[in-house]
Structure 1
Amino acid sequence: MAKGRSIGFIAAALVAAGAVTATCFGDALGIAQAQSAPFGATSRPLEVLGSAKPWLAAVPGGPQALRGKVVMVNFWTYSCINSLRALPYLRAWNERYGDKGLVVVGVHAPEFAFEHDAAKVRLAASELKVGYPNLQDNDYAVWQRFANKGWPGFYFIDADGRVRGYRIGEGDYASGEQLIRKLLAEAGRDLSDVPVSPISGTGVEAEADWAHLGSPEAYIGYDKAKNFRSPGELRKDRTASYAAASDLDLNSWDLTGKWSVGHEFATLDGAAGAIRFRFHARDVHLVLGGASDGRPVRFRVTIDGAAPGANHGTDVDAAGWGEVREDRLYQLVRQRGGIADRTATVEFSRPGVRAYVFTFG
């Protein structure tokens, strides 16, 4: 799908915190590039941050030290591919302008239950090199006060504490940096020694191949599952045996083996099992959770029945082997050649693994 100015694929997720509706935006150019806060947002964003808790990585000097600074607030969640692809820009802005009066603040608002665990968020932030202040917003209190609408969300706050820009979703980072520079210049900061140079991500953080992205997010839990093709319907909250579909059309999926499908994820209950997805994209990711006994779960990825070779993702080798050790997003496939409709199969070696959502890039 051409990137253009379309909104890309959108997956709506009803979050457990009251009536908050959170949305992952794969490409939101043109959805929200407001020059002010969204409707209903607080007019005192620094006061909201000042009373929020817990801080997983504190603001040096405390939240009161944000006054008089230009503040860039990013709403994110660590298993969301859209949030991950924004990180290279956030890190670069923090490094370029941190000594010029900019403070980048992450507000981690979880999508899945495991992302409520502060220890897991701290570990993920460390591995992702999130070196700026980070706040855990499990009950969406900050999200609601800011009237945020999805991941990733960006708020640009000037030195007088006013929201001067709001953006949602991926894309248009160049104008975001220009707004940061404008607000710093208004605050009297000299940026003549800070050049603007290209920013790009690597690995899972690399920009999506928007021109060839033809697959949307696909949730495995029954609350949001679509296009399931194993014979029979998903059996909710109980162990059931599933068989492969005779055929998969584009953006459909199936299960084999004994699985228990809950509202948020499916758990493999049998000795072995697999999940397949028919996709059209350069990258394939799958959010996975480890077994309750804490031991790693081996898995193998194939593409159209063959080892991925050079088309393997960052979390598998050329033969397709990978291992689930942490609850997070795993990159299974990154195609190096032409993009066509293909089937990814993920086979697991033992019970206990949890599968949440496929995402693409």
Structure 2
Amino acid sequence: MKPRIFLTISLAFAAAFPYTAVCRDDATPAAAAIDLPVEGRMPSLSGATTWLGSPALSSRALRGKVVLVDFWTYSCINSLRQIPYLRAWAARYGNHGLVVVGVHSPEFGFEKDLDNVRTAVKDIAPGYPVAVDSDHAVWRAFDNEYWPALYIVDSQGRIRHHVFGEGEYDRTEAIIRQLLAEAGHTDLPSGAKVVSKGVEAQADWAQLRTEETYVGYGRTDGFSSPGGMEQGRSKTYVRPDGLSPGNWGLVGDWTVKEESARSDKAGARIVFRFHARDVHLVMGPSSNGASVRFRVLIDGKPPGAGHGVDVAADGGGTVTTPKMYQLIRQAGEITDRDVEIEFIDPGIQVYSFTFG
């Protein structure tokens, strides 16, 4: 299998070319024809382990439809920020020959658990079928490397365009409309209106200067606790002094594994110096059915109006299921800040930080 990559645009590019706004009007995308080469035939979907929201779909059965295949994983902020557009297109063009198929190909181990995926899909409510690809068989069939990744297939079963990462929403919708028209659908409605909110809201690209950071030793970067990271064994970590932007550290008793870090005693903490509007943390209880209380501080104070959707104004929150939790959404000036998460109970499993 090729390396799996979370695709985010480079921060320098994002600052120079901000992405589309959270809302846009009902204007129909420009009708000028877009040159679309044939990139190959649509591979089989038969490797999916199960389907949610639909009976199993096959490439053969989808012939005659324009198909949008989206590779995603439910704890990925980049995937989540793309879903409002997929949801809108499925609703807008579903009666005009478009089928959107989400292919859930997990990154972390907990995303292979079918119950977790079912819960996530129910909470997200994408409004289109989801193929559960826990063995990455569909991923390999498409020779895919990215989350998120879109493949647009024409009514003859040919891949005509792809998009790796977030963005290009107006162009993607224009391509969808063009392929639907080529398939004989001339009664298309005006362009979809997309409203993103909560964790799905588009990033503040102009202020996003901190990269996604993994906590497990397999892919981590910027770790700054004195004495370095111990792999696979419990260690008492000391708070780092004077963190630089993009650097982070552990405080208290932790066991760091390849994919994640587990808190071994109550009161364990993580500190991170960041520059972004939003702070997210992928985490879950280390035991099924358990819950872990936590408290978030930003520059040593409760976040107040800058709290994320999974945190109260006083910084309090509870982890009950493995997923991405939004800790901070700042409303004011964006500068370099320190976020600190204290886990009041032991047994948290922490995977990665993402920002928006």
| Equivalent residue in structure 2 for 1:96, among 89, 92, 98 | 92
Answering whether residue 110 of structure 2 is matched by residue 114 of structure 1, we say yes
Hey, what does 1:163 align to over in structure 2? 159
Q: CA deviation at 1:118?
A: 1.3
2:22 alignment partner in structure 1 = none
One-letter identity of the residue aligned with 1:44: R
User: Residue 267 of structure 2: SS of its match in structure 1?
Assistant: strand
Question: Helix, strand or coil for the counterpart of 2:266?
Answer: strand
Matches within 5 A, 1:109-258: 109-192=105-188, 194-258=189-253
Distance 2:98 2:150 in 1: 14
> Out of 307, 318, 331, which is 1:336 matched to?
331
**Structure 2: segments with no counterpart, 5+ residues:** 15-33
Aligned counterpart, 2:7: 25
Task: Kindly report structure 1 stretches of 4+ aligned residues shifted beyond 3 Å.
Answer: 33-38, 58-62
Change in CA separation of 1:62 and 1:358 when aligned onto 2, cut-off 3 Å: closer
**What residue number does 1:349 align with?**
344
- Inter-CA distance 36–266: structure 2 relative to 1 (3 Å threshold): farther
1:10 — aligned with what? none
- SS of the aligned residue for 1:92 comes to helix
User: Alpha carbons of 1:37 and 1:214: their partners in 2 closer, same or farther (altered >3 Å)?
Assistant: farther
* 1:259-270 equivalent positions in 2, closer than 5 A: 259-270=254-265
Tell me which moved more, 128-137 or 254-263. Answer: 128-137
Query: What is the rounded CA distance, in whole Å, between the counterparts of 2:157 and 2:328 in structure 1?
Result: 43
Answer yes or no: is the 8 Å Cα contact 1:56–1:122 preserved in 2. no
Q: CA deviation at 1:174?
A: 0.6
1:323 partnered with 2:318:
yes
Corresponding pairs, count: 334
Superposition deviation, residue 84 in structure 1: 0.4
Identical amino acids, percent of aligned pairs: 48
How far does residue 61 in structure 1 lie from its aligned partner after superposition? 7.6
Q: In 2, are the aligned partners of 1:304 and 1:343 still within 8 Å (CA)?
A: yes
Deviations 1:218-249 (A, max 9, x none): 11000111111111111010111001012211
- Contact 1:156–1:180, Cα closer than 8 Å, also in 2: yes
SS in 2 for 1:182: helix
Q: Using a 3 Å threshold, how does the CA distance of structure 1 residues 269 and 250 change in structure 2: closer, same or farther?
A: same
RMSD: 1.9
Residues 285-324 of structure 1 show CA distances to partners (whole Å, capped at 9, x for unaligned) of 0000113152211101010000100000010011011110
1:140 Cα deviation (Å)?
1.9
On the 8 A contact 1:237/1:262 being kept in 2, the answer is yes
Distance in 1 separating the partners of 2:90 and 2:193: 15
The code of the aligned residue for 1:135 comes to: A
Tell me which amino acid in the other structure corresponds to 2:150. F
Give the TM-score normalised by the residue count of structure 1.
0.89
- For residue 302 of structure 2, give the secondary structure of its aligned residue in structure 1: coil
TM-score, normalised to structure 2, is: 0.90
Q: Displacement, 1:250?
A: 0.5
Distance in structure 1 (CA, Å) of the matches to 2:35 and 2:115: 35
Structure 1, gaps ≥5 residues long: 1-18
Label 1:93 to 1:260 Cα distance change in 2 as closer, same or farther (>3 A): same
Q: How far apart are the structure 2 equivalents of 1:312 and 1:220?
A: 22
| Distance across 1 between alignment mates of 2:353 and 2:201 | 17
